[in-house]
Structure 1
Amino acid sequence: MTTSSVDTDDIGYVHGYSAHETRRLGDQADTLAALLHSGTAYPAGSKVLEAGCGVGAQTVHLVTASPLAHFVAVDVSADSLERARARVTAHAPDAHLTWLQANLFELPFPDAEFDHVFVCFVLEHLPAPRQALRALRRVLKPGGTLTVIEGDHGSAFFHPDSAYAHAAIDCQVQLQSVAGGNALIGRELHPLVTGAGYEDVMVRPHTVYADRSRPALVNGFTRNTFVAMIESVREEALATGLTTPSDWDRGITDLHRTATDDGTFHYTFFKAVALNPGPVEE
């Protein structure tokens, strides 16, 4: 199966590749590991592809949960792979793991190479997520499993409520759309996965709720993951005329209020698990 019709030059990562973003991704993965990785473990000797491993934030938790599985972690960015290698070496030096720079739409593997495929926070950045899922089906054995995790920025609600805070979030959503992605993709997982030809698709919501009784989530998710992510697009949001400096600053201030003693924050991730019924039709 060929996927060369996808213009991969248009694939953009709206959050950037800074050291700050690397730390944010690590904070997110570590804070949410129990929530997102619960139930995800692979048998000894199985071959698992992590597609779009990025800086290895999720890879650490994958290999720790399945120490006897054999992982291949793929990403299009050489710089991200180097950061991933360093992170996993520091946290799980004995992992059975191979690193490979490759384009998800043009994976250099034979058909039916893997027993399982894991994809986390990747589809949201792709211009053709259904086509990407079909490309992954090609390298997945018949009967093999696909696991996909995505967020949905439309699921964010909080107290105190603020129209300015919602507008700041919407700036990030719009910028991601311009970059070819979809920050609301979580709600679309079931039709995307079934449309790519997978069967027995099950999608479950995984909700994060933070208030002062859960300080680890307030710091690790509300402040250091979600608000930090929105803050990172300030210059681009202003440069593209999506907001004004005063409105933006008001929105970010109001988002930070949700992490105070009187604030609350809610967000939903969606996790899909599915089976590959057989070879992908040309």
Structure 2
Amino acid sequence: MELNKLEFKLMNNPVRRWLQKNIEFKAFNEFLNKHNITLEGKAILDAGCGSGYSTNLIHQTYAPSELLGIDLMPSQISRAKINYPHINFEVGNVLQTNLPPGKFDAIFVFGILHHIPDWRQAVTELHRVLKPGGVCLIEDLNKDTSHFFATYLKLDHPPEAYFSWEQFTDSLEATGFTILNQKRIFTNGIGSFLCLKSS
């Protein structure tokens, strides 16, 4: 799988990196601090890591004992390995990671689920590879925002992957996550979530 040329450029430019660091990652850190959750020295997965910028933010911030970035796009993983050779990256599918159950203390997911028609299965797989008591931090777009980008910018946002916030939160809870915190960033169409795997 590869993104179209425009979306690939949008995901690999200084503006996107600035937003990821100063808005999305900042929101995640605020969630963690609010709930007195520390990730220093933990095992962390960056699911849908792209070219590795978010994974390096995680590395610099938490000094994890284990850190893995996975992405379905070989071209992105190739970039990640060149940009951040000190971090472990693999081509991987969030629908079936082939990783052991209960492996990670935390999982970061920066805006990939709206690309996945079977996003509910992705949520289930994230839950599977997370340790009991671990946290999953998710940032994503709802159906209105996905539809806007698909219609006006011709981005690869399949209608089968659209979800309302009610559908999304219902799926998280049905999978076994407890939503500890959520907020909307920029507009109602972009949301961040802190989820706990309670068992």
Task: Name the TM tier (shorter chain).
Answer: 0.7 to 0.9
Is the 1:130–1:195 contact (alpha carbons within 8 Å) kept by the matching residues of 2? no
Task: Classify the secondary structure of the residue corresponding to 2:95.
Answer: helix
Residue pairs, 1:213-252, within 5 angstroms: none
Is 1:23 aligned to 2:12, yes or no? yes
Task: Classify the secondary structure of the residue corresponding to 2:41.
Answer: coil
Aligned-residue offset at 1:109: 1.6
Which amino acid in structure 2 is aligned with residue 75 of structure 1?
D
1:44 paired residue among 40, 60, 64: 40
Is 1:64 aligned to 2:54, yes or no? no
1:129 paired residue among 85, 96, 119: 119
- TM-score by length of structure 1 reads 0.57
Is 1:273 aligned to 2:194, yes or no? yes
CA distance in 2, matches of 1:167, 1:269: 12
Structure 2 counterpart of 1:205: 184
Is the 2:141–2:190 contact (alpha carbons within 8 Å) kept by the matching residues of 1? yes
Structure with higher Rg: it is 1
Task: Classify the secondary structure of the residue corresponding to 1:104.
Answer: coil
Aligned-residue offset at 1:116: 0.8
- Structure 1 126/141 Cα, relative in aligned 2: closer, same or farther at 3 Å? same
- Structure 1 268/60 Cα, relative in aligned 2: closer, same or farther at 3 Å? farther
Question: 1:14-53 CA deviation, whole Å, 9 max, x = no partner?
Answer: 54488634534x4212234222112437533200011111
> Structure 1: any 5+ residue segments left out of the alignment?
1-11, 157-165, 208-265
How many equivalent pairs are there? 191
> Structure 2: any 5+ residue segments left out of the alignment?
33-37
- Structure 1 33/102 Cα, relative in aligned 2: closer, same or farther at 3 Å? same
CA distance in 2, matches of 1:141, 1:168: 35
- Structure 1 273/22 Cα, relative in aligned 2: closer, same or farther at 3 Å? closer
Structure 1 counterpart of 2:94: 104
- TM-score by length of structure 2 reads 0.78
Q: What is the aligned-residue RMSD (CA, Å)?
A: 3.2
Structure 1 counterpart of 2:144: 154
